[in-house]
Chain A
Amino acid sequence: MTLVAEPPVPATEPAPAAEDAAEAKPRDILIICYSGELEKTWATMILATTGAAMGAKVRVFLTFWGLQSFVKDGKRITGQNVMQKMMSFMQRPGISHRKLSKMNFLGMGPWMMNKLAKQYNVSSPKELLEIAQAMGVEFMPCQMTMDMFGLTKDDMIEGLGEPVGAATVIALLQDGDAPLFI
């Protein structure tokens, strides 16, 4: 008869789960702001301010069309060469000049949308952006998009972070940030 060895008893009991787990700091949030349409810019700003209000560290990576919303409202034509200038001419940059993806109707749609927002006391993307910055939301412009559209630091609104690349985004995702691609 063979005796089966008892499995070794662990020397220490596993540490009890932290009781204050529910009160642990919420996960960091990373919003990849890719789109430049009014409704998507609005969604980005609402989620960014709410994330900050709920105690989460919120970072917003600004890339492709999403970066155009963070050009100063007063800038009309941006870029270094003809093609870059044409791009900004065809789609005016700045957070107050966003178009709707549907029902734009040469600006009638956004005009009605802004009118309705005022009527129902909904803060504009520009107001929410200012609140987000005051609440410590970090905005990270994409260096590659800056280069491709010929944007300089002077074209961009105040308070943006240093331009970064995709590796920064991936590293944050690997760290466990909750991702939102808008």
Chain B
Amino acid sequence: MSTEQIAQTVDAKGLSCPMPIVKTAQAIKGLDSGQLLEVLATDAGSVKDFAAWAKTTGNPIVEQSADAGVYRFVLQKK
């Protein structure tokens, strides 16, 4: 996904539960429907947590990857 399409990035690297999710929820509030939010996290629990968050809030994960201990999620605001 090209970076131009990403409206905002949340850098949650180094943060522990629950801050990656909390920061994501706060950031997505400021976006318009359809806009993309990129989240970078190093918390290993975030893979399951972001899946749960996306399911509950209805903001889907449109892209996901892991590289050298950094988990990247691209979420689309519903």
Q: Could you list which residues of chain A lie within 8 angstroms of chain B, going by C-beta atoms?
A: 22-23, 26, 46, 49-50, 52-55, 120-123, 128, 131, 135
Contacts and interface: CB of A to CB of B under 8 A. Distances in A.
Contact of B14 (A46, A55, A121, A131): A121
Nearest to A56: B56
Interface residues of B, number: 18
Contacts, number: 45
A114 to B, nearest CB: 14
Interface in B1-59: 14-19, 21-22, 24-26, 52-53, 55-58
Contacts of B25: 52-55, 135
Interface of B: 14-19, 21-22, 24-26, 52-53, 55-58, 78
Given A54-B56, A120-B16, A121-B16, A23 B78 contact: yes
